[in-house]
Structure 1
Amino acid sequence: MKADADALLFSMKSFAAAMLAYYISLCIGLPKPYWAIVTVYIVSQTSAGASLSRGVYRFLGTFIGAAATVAIVPNFVNDPLACSVILACWIGLCLYVSLLDRTPRAYAYVLAGYTASLIGFPCVLDPGAVFETASVRVQEISIGILCAVLIHRFVVPKPMTSQFLTKLSTTLNDARRMANDALRGAPQEKSRRDRNQLAADLLALQGLATYLPYDPAPATPAREKLQLIHDRLARLLPLATEIEDRLHALNIRDHDTPEELTALLGDVETWITAAGATERELVAVQLIERARMLQARIGTNIAAHGDLLAANLAGHLAEMIELLHDCDRLGRDIATAGQSREVTLLRWRKRPTGYVYHRDSLMAARAASGAIVGIVIGCAFWIWSAWPDGALAVSVLGVCCALLGNVDAPAPNVVKFLVGSTYAVAISLIYSFVILPRVTEFAVLVAVLAPAFLLAGSIQARPPTTLMALGITLTTPILCGLGTTYTGDFAMFLNSAVALFAGTGFAVVSMTALQTVPVDAAINRLLRVSRRDVSRRACGSAPEEAHWTSLMIDRTALLLPRLRVSDASYADVLDDTVYHLRVGHAVDQLRRAVEHLEGDLGDEARELLLATAARFSARRQTKPVEALALNRRIETLMTLFAGSSLPERSRLLDILIDLRFALNPGGATHEERDS
C-alpha cells in the first residue's frame, strides 16, 4: 500500500509539473510545447534530490547537444550523408563517455547525444532551420526542467537522506552479521551470501549517496564521512574471509589454540551481537588492545608455525574490531549530521577513497561503435529512399541508442519502450480524433488528459515497468500534437506512428546485432580484467589499497545481476572475485615491504612477486605444477625470513601467511581455480 501511495503521489506531482510546463510554454508562444511535457517525465524521479540532479544534468546535456548540433549541421549543408555520419559519431562519443562515467553525471553525456539526435537529423535536409530549432528546443526543455524540479522539491518532497540513512542502517547490520558468521564458522553458502549482500549494499548506498548533495534535507552527510565508512565496510568483506580461513586452518591441523585466543574469539562474538551501541563502544577498545597484545606475544615464537598462524589471526581480529567500531561511530555521526561531535578514528588516517567504479574503455568503445554503425545504416536507408518521415525514424533510433544503450543487452529495454509506445499510439488515436476535438478550454484539457497520464505516471514510479511507462509518457504528447492549436491530421499521425515503430524496431535489430554483449562474455571479461590487475599489482602498477578493495567490490556488484540471467553455471565466480581481491592485497603488501630489501632475501621476494604476476597474467592459463611451485616459494621464503635477523621479519612473515592463504583459500590448494 505504501508503494502504491508513493507511486500515486509521484504521478500526481509529475502530471502537475507537466501541465504547468505546458501552460507556460503556451503562454509564451513556443511552437512545440509538448517537448516541455516530455521533459518533465524524463526528469522526474521518485525523490527530490534525484529530480534536481537529473534536471541539472539534463539542462547541461541539452545545451551541449544543441550547441554541437548547431556546429555540425551547417558545415555539411551539401552532403546529408556526411552530416548524418558526423552526428552518429557525436552520439557514439556521448554514449562512450557516459559508459565510462557510471555516475549521475553520465546523464549529461546521454542527453548531449539524445538532443543531437532529436534536433540534428530533422535538420539534415533543412540546415537553415537548425539554429532556430535548437534555440526553441532548449527553451521548451528548460521550462520542463524548471517545473519538474520545483514541483518535486517543494510539493510534498520525498528526501533522499532518509532513504540513505535507512539503507546505511541495514548495511551496518549486514556487516555485523557477516563478521559474526565468519567467527562462528557458518557454512560456505551462508558466508557467500553475506559477502554478496554487502557488495550489493555498498553499490546501493553509493547510488543513493550521489544524490545527497541535491537533497532538500536541512543537513546532509559530509562527503568525507561517507567515503570513510565505505572504505571500512569494503575492507570488512575480504577480512571476514581471511578470518574464516585462519579458523578453518587451525581446526584442520588440530592446533592447540591458546586459551587467550579462544576466550578472545568468544568475547568478540558476544561484542558483535550486543544490542546496545554504548556497550559496544566501551568494550571495543579493550578488545582491540587484548588482540594486539596477544598478537605481539604469540608472534614472538617464530619457530612455531601454529603460533605464527594464531598471531596472524589475532591481528586480523583486532582489525575487524577496529573497522566495526569505526563503522558504528561513523554511522551515528552521519545519522546526526555530525553536528554534535567529531569522530576520532582508530586507524586508517589516510585520506579516504570512497566508492571506486570499474570502467572498461574497450567495452564502452564496442557499444559506441555499434551505435554509430546502426545509426549510419539507418541514415543511409533514409537518404537513399528519400522517405519523408525518415528523419523522425532516425531520430528515434538515435534516442534509443543514446538513452538505452548503457547495458550489456539493450534490446530488451528497447522492446519494453516499444510496448509502451504501442499503448501510446492507441491512447493518442483516441485522444486525437475522439476527445481533443471537443476540448476548447485548458482546464478541460487538463481534466481529460489526467486519467492516461496519472496511470502512466504511477506505472513509471515502479522500476520493473519504468521503461514501458516512458514509452507512453514520452510518445503520447508528441503523437497527440499537444501544440498551440488542434491539428487533427490523420495522415500526419499515421506517418509519425509508422516512423516511430520503424525507428524503434530497427533499434531493436541493430542493438541486438551490434551493441549486445553476451552475458557470459561480460562475466569472463570482468574475471580476466581482475586477473590482469592482480598481475599488475604484483609488478608494482597498482593503485593504493582502499582503491583496489573498492574497485573489486564494484566488480563483484556488477557480476551479481549478470549471474542471475546467465544460463551457465558459475558456482565459484563470486568467490573468485574475493580471491583476486585478497591476492592483490597480499602481493601489494609484500611488494611494499620488500621494496628496499637488499641481498638474497630481497631477490627471492621479488622473484616470488614475478612468479605470482606470471600466474595471474591474463594471457596464459595456470598449470597445477606452477601453483605448487609458487606455494613452495612461499614456504622457502618464510623459512629464510624466520632465520634472518631482519627487524621487520614478524611483519614479513605475517604478509607471507596472508599471501599463502589468499592463494589457497580455505587452506586447500586451488591450483586450477584460475584455469
Structure 2
Amino acid sequence: MPCRKRMRPMLVNATSAAAPRPLVFAGFRASSWAFALRVWLAMMLALYVSFWLELESASSSALTVAVLALPTRGQGMEKAGYRLLATAIGVVASIAIAGVFSQTDGLLLAVLGIWVGLCVYVAGMLDGNRAYAAALCCITVALVAIQQIDTPLQVFPAGVARGAAIGIGVLAVAFVNEVLAAPDYHPLLASRIEALHRRVKTLAQGAEGNCAADAAGLLHDIAALRPEIASLVTESSIGTARTAAARSALVDLVSAFSLGRMLAALPDTSPDAAGLTAMSRSWLRTEISRKSARVCSSLDALHEGTRPYHAWRAPLYRSRRIAAEAAARGAISFTLIALFFVLTGWPATELCLSLVAAIIGLSSISPAPRNFALVAVMAMPIACALAGMLKYLVFNGVSEFQLLAIGLAPAVIGLALLISLPNPMLSSLGRLVLVFMIAVLVPTNPQSYDPEVFLATSLFACLSAVLVFAAQMLLPPLSGERRGRLLLGEARRELSRLDGGRARSLAPEEAAFRDAARIEQILTANGAAPLDGRIAAEAMRCFGQAETLRRCRAELDRLRQGPLAGAAQDAREALAERNGDAILAAAAALRQTAARSGLSADAAIALLIPASHAFAPLQPSGRGEQP
C-alpha cells in the first residue's frame, strides 16, 4: 500500500509479485461460501432459540438474519443496531396510532398513509443504515398496527413479540459472526480509499483528462463511501477512531481533488499575470502534496486504529424538495392501494397492506424506486415458488427441527451466494427472494401445512408487489434527469448566496465534501444511464466556483487585521461581484501591498488566481464543458 511504504516496504514488495489466487468452488469464492454458511447457521440458531422460547413471532428472527446478511461483521452489527432502534420507535408509533384511531376505519388508513409518507421523507433526508431505520419504522407499523387492525388490544403484545424475535436474530448474527471470525471491513475500506487516492494524484499530476464527467465520477466514488464508514464504529473497540480516520481521509481526498482541478484549470501562459500564475501553480502543488500526506496519515490511522491528525466532519447534502415529493408519492400510493382493498372487500387485506408498506418503505431508500419495485415484482413469485417447494415437497409434513434446518440449507445458502455477487441487480434480487421466502414460508413450531392459507398468502403477496409497481407507474417518481436538474438548480442558488462576510459553520474542506455528496446524488439519480455532459459540466463548474469562493474567503478573513486589511477587503468585493478581471486585479494589488509591507499573503493570492479563471466568461467548447 503506497501510504505505508515506510512501515513495511519489504512485505509489500515480497507479496505483490506472488499474491495467492482466491479459492473458487462452483464459481464462487471461498469467502462467499463462508458468508453463506454464516447466514444459514445464524438463521437456524435464531429459529431454534425462538422455538425453544415459544415466541409467537419466531419467523421474525429468521427475517432479521436475512436482512442482516452482510459480508462483514461491522456492517451487520451497525444495521442490527438501527434495526433495534427502528423497531422500538415503530412499536411505540403502532401503539399510539392504534390507541387513538382504532375506531375510525377511514381516518386510520389516512393516518397510516401519513405515517408512511413521514417515514419516506425522513429516509430521503438520511443515508445508509440511518435511512434504512427510517424505512423500517414504516415497515414495523405495517407489521404490527396494520396486521392487528381488527384487534387493537393485541398491538402491544404483537410489538413485544416482534421486538423479542428481532433481538434474538441480532444476537444470533453477532454470535455466529464472532465464533466463525467474520472478516472486518476496515481493510477493504482502506484499500478502496487508497485506490481513490491514486486516482486523485493522477489527476493532480495532469496525467488524466479534465473531462467533467470523469471528474464528477471520481467525486461520486469518493462521496459514495460516506455511509459505509459508519459501520466501523461497531466493528471493534477502536472503531470510533477508525471511523474518524476514514472520514478525514475522504474529506482530504475531496480537498486534494478540488486543488488538482484548480491547478489543471490554470493556463499554461498568461502574459498579463505570468508571475501570479506561476506563484499560484507552485502554491497549489505544495498544498496538494500536503493534502496527499494527510490522506496517507489518515490511512495509517485507519489501519492502526488511532485518531487522525484532524477529525473532519463529512456532512451530507439532501434536497428537502426531492424528499418531500417522494414522501407525497409514498403516502398517496399507500392510501390508494388501501382504498382499493377496502372497496374490493377481499380477505387477508392486512397482509397485503403490510407488504405494500414494506415495499414502499424499502423502495424509498433505493436510488431508483421504480427499478426496486420491478425487482420486487420478479422476486415475489420466485420466493413463493421456493417456499411452496420447501413446504410441500421438501418438508412434506415433518415437524422436526433437524429436518427443517437441512431442508432450508440449499435455499438459504444458494440465495446467500447470490447476495455475495458483485452484480447489484443479482445481489438485490437474491436478498429480496430470501426475505420474501421467509416471510411467505413463516417457519413455526409446529409448522403449518394448510394449502389454502399458503395459496392465499402467495397470491396476495404477489398482488401487493404488482400494486406497488402499478402505483409507481401511475405516480412515477422523479426521473434521474429531473432530479439532477433540481439538484443542479439548488447548487446554483446556493452559489449565488455565497458572500464574503457571513460566517459559516463548515470549514471549506467540509463544505467541499458536502458539495461532492450532492454531485454523487446527481450521478446516482441517473442510474446506469450516462450523465448528460452539460449537466456534468455545469455541476463541476458550480463545485469549482463554490470551492474557490470558500477558500478565498477563508484566507482573506485571516487578513482582516493589519496592513493588508484594505487590499483584502477589495479582494472580497471583487469576489462578491463574480468578476474574473476584477479578482485578478485584486490579487495583483494584494501582492503589491504585501510586498511593500513585508508580509506574506501567498495563500490568498494563490487562490485568487484560480478564482479569476473560475469566474471568467465561458468560451464555446465542442463538448459543452468548461475548457
Q: Structure 2 matches for 1:624-635, cutoff 5 A?
A: 630-634=579-583
The match for 1:426 is 385
Compute the displacement of 1:355 (Å): 2.2
The correspondence for 2:510, drawn from 547, 570, 573, is 547
Q: Deviations over 1:241-293 (max 9, x none)?
A: 211222xx234x5x6xxxxxxxxxxxxxxxxxxxxxxxxxxxxxxxxxxxxxx
Letter in 2 for 1:658: P
Matched residue, 1:397:
356
Which residue, 524, 529, 533 being the options, matches 1:571?
A: 533
Relative distance call for 1:608 and 1:449 in structure 2 (3 A) is same
* Offset, 1:520: 0.6
Residues 139 and 66 (structure 1), Cα distance of their counterparts in 2 relative to 1, 3 Å cut = same
SS for the counterpart of 2:350 is helix
Partner of 2:43: 18
Q: 1:150 aligns with which of 175, 182, 194?
A: 175
The Cα shift of 1:312 comes to: 1.5
Post-superposition Cα deviations, 1:23-66, rounded to whole Å, max 9, x if no partner, equal: 11111112332222111101221111111111111111111101
Match of 1:188 in 2: 210
- Residue identity matched to 1:141: I
Corresponding residue number in structure 2 for 1:660: 612
Structure 1 residue 18, shift from structure 2 partner: 1.0
> What is the identity percentage for the equivalent residue pairs of Structure 1 and Structure 2?
18
Contact 1:371 1:515 in 2 (8 A): no
Paired residue for 1:177? 202
Q: Which residue of 2 aligns with 1:88?
A: 113
Q: CA deviation at 1:222?
A: 3.7
Q: TM-score, normalising length from structure 1? A: 0.80
**Preserved contact between residue 418 and residue 426 of structure 2 (Cα < 8 Å):** yes
The verdict on how the C-alpha distance between 1:219 and 1:460 changes in structure 2, with shifts beyond 3 A counting, is: closer
Aligned residue in 2 for 1:266: none
1:566 Cα shift?
3.7
Question: In structure 1, how many angstroms separate the alpha carbons of the residues matched to 2:323 and 2:221?
Answer: 25
Look up the match of 1:213.
Answer: 233
Shift of residue 384 of structure 1?
Answer: 3.1
Mapped partners of 2:572, 2:254: distance in 1: 28
Q: Distance in 2 between matches of 1:420 and 1:481?
A: 17
More displaced stretch, 502-511 vs 380-389 = 380-389
Structure 1 residue aligned with 2:268, among 246, 250, 266?
250
Residues 356 and 550, structure 1, Cα contact 8 Å, conserved in 2: yes
Q: Could you tell me how far apart the structure 2 residues matched to 1:218 and 1:633 are? A: 51
What number of residue pairs does the alignment pair up?
589
Residue 331 of structure 1 is matched in structure 2 by 299
Q: Report the 3-state secondary structure (helix = DSSP H, G, I; strand = E; otherwise coil) of the residue aligned with 1:538.
A: coil
Mapping of 1:99-118 within 5 angstroms? 99-118=124-143
Paired amino acid for 1:188: N
Does 1:54 pair with 2:79?
yes
Q: Partner residue of 1:289?
A: none
The one-letter amino acid of 1:492's match is V
Contact 2:281/2:606 (CA < 8 Å) preserved in 1? no
| Equivalent in the alignment of 1:358 | 317
CA distance in 2, matches of 1:521, 1:28: 52
Whole-angstrom distance in 1 between the partners of 2:368 and 2:244: 35
SS at 2:29's partner residue?
helix
2 CA distance for matches of 1:466 and 1:237? Answer: 32
Structure 1 residue 235: Cα displacement: 0.9
Q: Specify every segment of 5 or more residues in structure 2 that has no aligned partner in the other structure, as ranges.
A: 1-22
> Residue 16 of structure 2 corresponds to which residue in structure 1?
none
Give the counterpart letter for 2:295 in structure 1: C
Residues 1:525 and 2:517 aligned together? no
Q: 1:488 to 1:96 in 2, by over 3 A?
A: same
| Other-structure match for 2:449 | 488
1:584 paired to 2:546: yes
Partner of 2:15: none
Structure 1 CA distance, aligned partners of 2:228 and 2:565?
51
Amino acid at match of 1:108: A
Alpha-carbon distance between aligned partners in 1 of 2:581 and 2:575, rounded to the nearest angstrom: 13
Whether 1:508 and 2:469 are equivalent positions in the alignment is yes
Structure 2 residue identity aligned to 1:378: I
- Greater radius of gyration (CA): 1
Choose which of 243, 263, 274 in structure 2 pairs with 1:306.
274
Change (3 A) 1:119 1:655: same
Relative distance call for 1:128 and 1:330 in structure 2 (3 A) is closer
Closer, same or farther: CA 242–591 of 1 in aligned 2, 3 Å: closer
Query: What's the CA shift for 1:657?
Result: 1.9
Question: Contact (CA 8 Å) 2:213, 2:533: kept in 1 or not?
Answer: no
Given that 2:61 and 2:169 are in contact with CA atoms closer than 8 Å, whether structure 1 keeps it comes out as yes
2:223/2:513 contact within 8 Å kept? no
Deviation at 1:576, TM superposition (A): 3.1
The Cα of 1:521 is off from its aligned counterpart by 0.6
Match of 2:331 in 1: 372
Q: 1:643 to 1:161 in 2, by over 3 A?
A: closer
Alignment root-mean-square deviation, CA: 3.1
Question: Secondary structure, in 3 states, of the residue corresponding to 2:499?
Answer: helix
CA distance in 1, matches of 2:162, 2:143: 9
Task: Say if 1:161 and 1:217, in contact at 8 Å, map to a contact too.
Answer: no
CA drift of 1:669 comes to 7.5
Query: Which residue identity does 1:411 align to in structure 2?
Result: R
Residues 1:220 and 1:163: Cα distance change in structure 2 (over 3 Å): farther
Going from structure 1 to structure 2, the CA distance change for 1:554 and 1:365 (only over 3 Å counts) comes to same
Question: Structure 1 pair 539/390, CA: closer, same or farther in 2 (3 Å)?
Answer: farther
Deviation at 1:658, TM superposition (A): 2.5
2:346 counterpart of 1:387: yes
Q: CA deviation at 1:579?
A: 2.1
Shift of 1:372: 0.8
Counterpart CA distance in 2 for 1:600 and 1:167 is 46
Question: How many angstroms apart in 2 are the aligned matches of 1:203 and 1:602?
Answer: 33
The structure-2 alpha-carbon separation of the partners of 1:515 and 1:371, relative to structure 1 and needing over 3 Å to count, comes to farther
Are 1:81 and 1:379, in contact at CA under 8 Å, matched by a contact in 2? no
The aligned residue for residue 9 of structure 2 is none
Deviates more, 1:111-120 or 1:133-142: 133-142
- Structure 1 residues 388 and 606 mapped into 2: Cα distance closer, same or farther (>3 Å)? same
The CA distance in 1 between the partners of 2:549 and 2:192, in whole Å, is: 34
* C-alpha displacement of 1:142: 1.7
Question: Pick from 531, 534, 537: which aligns with 2:495?
Answer: 534
Moved more, 471-480 or 152-161: 471-480
User: Residues of 2 paired with 1:331 and 1:471: CA distance?
Assistant: 35
Are the equivalent residues in 2 in contact too, given 1:408–1:517 (CA < 8 A)?
A: no
One-letter code of the match for 1:415? L
Deviation at 1:638, TM superposition (A): 5.4
Contact 2:580 / 2:613 at 8 angstroms: preserved in 1? no
Q: Which amino acid aligns with 1:33?
A: A
Partner amino acid, structure 1, of 2:229: A
Distance 2:264 2:588 in 1: 25
- The residue type equivalent to 1:250 in the other structure is D
Name the CA shift for 1:192/1:476 in 2 (closer, same or farther; >3 Å).
closer
Q: 1:477 aligns with which of 438, 453, 461?
A: 438
CA 1:556–1:51: 2 relative to 1, 3 Å: same
Q: Is the 8 Å Cα contact of residues 367 and 515 (structure 1) preserved in structure 2?
A: no
1:321 to 289, 295, 308: 289
Deviations 1:88-134 (A, max 9, x none): 22222222112212142332222111111111112222212212221
Q: 1:219 to 1:397 in 2, by over 3 A?
A: closer
**In structure 1, C-alpha distance between the alignment counterparts of 2:507 and 2:247, rounded to whole Å:** 15
